[in-house]
Amino acid sequence: MTKSSVRRRATGGQTVQIEALITTTDLEKIYPLGLTTLKALDRVNLSVERGEFVGLVGPSGSGKTTLLNIIGSLDAPTSGSAEVLGRKIESLSHKEAAKLRKDHIGFIFQTFNLLPVYTVFENVEFPLLLQGIDSSERTKLVMDALEWVGLADRADSKPAQLSGGESQRVAIARAIVKKPEIVLADEPTANLDAANSHHIMKTMVQLNKELKVTFIFATHDEKVIAYLKRKITLVDGRIAKDEIREKPARTAGSGRKTRT
């Protein structure tokens, strides 16, 4: 069992204990830029609970991808702290960071990143090979993941034989096949048309509901934003607004409240 932070929230006069998978405290990221520096993140304080469906929203340069990369242990903060599943990202060695990603985090990229010489099955299987799972269990897990995204009948196809929407569904299957606690998606609909974008988002909403996987998106795509249950707006590396959306626009209504 993985460790996670625990925080408390007052609800209806009572204090309840909440499991936070991800917390950041005064998080900053500064990049050298010639003779000067660029502050990509500026004192970001954030907590994400198990099972949330969250979007980091903002224009290019707002810091959303940088924050996603730190949460995914692909980068480390310059100062402050980021804790993911009980592990402080800034204290991890390269080997420890790689193990965190391998065992607990799935990634979905806008460019799909499928291996062209391998079949759909083999692309989805790859994370399980890294984990050393035996062949019979791998087969079951891969076919389960392909069933979840509606592509079990394309298991023997190569990426070149797939549409853009199908390719992104394979990427989702690859991200969830190991049943991670967290899935990080960076502009997952950037290369898709509207119909495929909505299909992909509905798939991820269902996986979030059924598997209780925590999804975190970095996006400025309104088609993605419409499905979010929590919208965190970043401006110049800072959190400008944090909204809980009790009824996401794509499900019903538009009720929302600001998180405190």
**Rounded CA separation 37/27 (Å):** 16
Burial class (CB within 10 angstroms; exposed 0-12, middle 13-18, buried 19+) of 142: buried
Residue 175: C-alpha distances to residues 35, 126, 260 (Å) = 39, 10, 31
Cα 99 to Cα 195: distance, rounded to the nearest angstrom: 36
Burial (0-12, 13-18, 19+ Cβ within 10 Å), 257: exposed
CB atoms within 10 A of CB 25: 15
Which structure tokens are listed for 254? 């538009």
In what order do the strands lie in the sheet containing 238-244? 105-109, 182-186, 214-219, 53-57, 230-235, 238-244, 257-258
Query: Which tens digits make up the pLDDT trace of 172-205?
Result: 999 999 999 999 999 888 888 888 889 889 989 9
- CA 244 to chain CA centroid, nearest Å: 17
Task: Residue 119: name the closest of 163, 152, 154 by CA.
Answer: 154
CA–CA dist 29, 39 (Å, integer):
6
Which residues lie below 8 Å from residue 35, measured CB to CB, with a gap of 6+? Answer: none
What is the residue-level pLDDT of the chain in tens, covering all 260 positions? 344 444 445 445 555 555 789 999 999 999 998 889 999 999 999 999 999 999 999 988 899 999 999 999 999 999 999 999 999 999 999 999 999 999 999 999 888 899 999 999 999 999 999 999 999 999 999 999 999 889 999 999 999 999 988 999 999 999 999 999 999 999 888 888 888 889 889 989 998 999 899 999 999 999 999 999 999 999 999 999 999 987 776 653 344 444 54
How far apart, in Å, do the first and last CA atoms of the chain sit? 29
Q: What b/e readout covers 54-63, taking b as 16+ CB neighbours within 10 angstroms? A: bbbbbeeebb
- 16 token code pair: 């309840």
Do the Cβ atoms of 175 and 149 come closer than 8 Å?
no
**Could you tell me if 114 and 171 are in contact, meaning their C-beta atoms sit under 8 angstroms apart?**
yes
Q: Give the gyration radius of the chain's Cα atoms.
A: 18
pLDDT the model gives residue 200: 87
Strands 105-109 and 182-186: parallel
